[in-house]
Amino acid sequence: MEQIIQKDKKFADTLSVAKIIGKRVISPSGFIVGKVLEVRIDNKKYSIEGIFVRNNIHGKIYFGMSYFKSISTDAVFLLIEPSILLKQKKVLAHDGKFIGKVKTVSRVDETNDVRVLEVKKIFRKPFFIKPRDIDSYGKSIILKKDYDAKKNTKGP
């Protein structure tokens, strides 16, 4: 194969966009967010700007390039745990008591930063949790010991 390049990367040092389509998108915790539907490029710089991902719960999700850790022909690895995937997660008090499920995730603009989570339990008023009130999250969200849901019934 002949190459015609100047200061560009050699063919062997590049990746075919076609080979990324259909590959898994994986969060830092190993959660499979979905599969790549489409790769988007900047129409002036001709660089990858982001990807559309098919997620079974949330439909299509677009991730900008700044949230990528790495891309290979096997998968796309993210730098973040996507905050929109917190929806429907169980919320537990610091002692493990179930206090509700995340109903909505309010983000700062279109970033991954959470402004507030709206949590609801059957037959109870919704209440709101700010990121500073969360001790940890994974399969469930665990709140800090000093969090008091009764004081947090006002929205964002």
Of the candidates 132, 130, 146, 56, the residue with the CA atom closest to the CA atom of residue 93: 146
Tell me the two tokens of residue 54: 């098919």
pLDDT digits (tens, 9 = 90+) for 55-103: 988 889 999 999 999 998 899 999 999 999 999 999 999 899 999 999 9
Q: How far apart are CA 4 and CA 10, in angstroms?
A: 9
Pick the CATH number of 17-81 from 2.30.30.240, 1.10.10.10, 3.30.70.1560, 2.30.30.50: 2.30.30.240
For the domain covering 84-151, report its CATH number: 2.30.30.240
Provide the whole-model pTM.
0.80
Half-sphere exposure of 4 (CA within 13 A, CB side): 0
Q: How far apart are CA 70 and CA 48, in angstroms?
A: 12
Half-sphere exposure of 86 (CA within 13 A, CB side): 29
Is 139 strand, coil or helix?
coil
Percent pLDDT > 70 in the chain is 95
What pLDDT is recorded for position 89?
A: 93
- Across 24-45, average pLDDT: 93
Q: How far apart are CA 99 and CA 56, in angstroms?
A: 26
CATH 2.30.30.240 boundaries in the chain? 17-81, 84-151
**β-strand 140-143 against 134-137: which pairing, if any?**
antiparallel
- Across 100-128, average pLDDT: 93
- Mean pLDDT, the chain, whole residue set: 89
DSSP label of 14: S
Is 133 strand, coil or helix?
helix
What pLDDT is recorded for position 68?
A: 95
